[in-house]
Amino acid sequence: INEEYDYINNYYQFVYQAQYEYLKEDYQKAYDLLKTAEKNCPLLKQMEINEPAILAECAMRLNKPEEAVHYIEVLVRDYGAKFENFKDAPLYKDIQNTRYWRKLERKAKKYHDAYLKQVDLDLRNEVLKMMEEDQSVRINRDYEGLKRVDSINHLKFKKIVADCDCFPDEMFPQFGNYTIDDKFFHPTTFVFHISRERAEYWKPIFLDLIRRGRAPANIYGDLIDSNLRSNGVYLYGIYNNIGSDKIDDFENLDKRRIAVGLPPLQLRKDILELIKKKYGI
């Protein structure tokens, strides 16, 4: 991804707004907002939002079937999504005899094979093993082991981020997605376990990666607020169960959130409410 893109200023806020409109089933608004974001910066596929999938669905509902197929193609080609899942989806049933659908169907296997070739299995497994150890010392309350594991993981993590110029995430093909081994790959839990001393190293790196669309947008806020747990007053309001009295300089909270790639707090709460309603999560 080119250095010139600034996702913090030109992308994330459109996408959060689009996610909200999509969950409210205002497909036109969601579509327009995502198209604006895409015009500003190359589209990402963030874990909870899945921009190409929302665009495919909105395009379909707005009677732009050829465009819907374009975004399905992006998902299959760039992100290793399984073409069969779209084929089985009732939403796309009516367009499966069109020329552009059949063309994608012919290419789907080639795309999937090419995607799998990009995945670095050793790298994926290394990160999965790091996640496993990170959790196991915590579940077993092994405090000695915890110090050791965190310090080893920190060094490995530093190297991975430097070598790949990104945060390990399924957005990036070298890490692969769950279709590879059915394993949940979500290393953002590491961020919550970075100590205050080590956080100083990561702050500028995380912010730069978020700005360039090379990391999940929440990691900077997570890093800072997880280190503020001990004094119980937060800067970014990432925890759902805290009141405004527990947030430093509450008036400027949204300004701070937007500056590090997070949605305004109320919008985030509204989105979570809608997700709960729509998916029962």
pLDDT band at 1; cut points 50, 70, 90 = very low
Mean pLDDT for 13-41 is 98
Mean of pLDDT values over 61-74: 98
Interatomic CA distance for residues 102 and 93, integer angstroms: 12
The predicted pLDDT at position 3 comes to: 58
Residue 16 β-bridge partners: none
* pLDDT-wise least confident of 1-10, 68-77, 83-92, 120-129: 1-10
Give pLDDT, residue 72: 98
pLDDT tens, position by position, 214-262:
999 999 999 999 999 998 999 999 998 899 999 999 999 999 999 999 9
Q: Which two tokens stand for residue 201?
A: 């190293």
Task: Return the percentage of the chain with pLDDT > 70, whole number.
Answer: 99
Share the mean pLDDT of the chain: 95
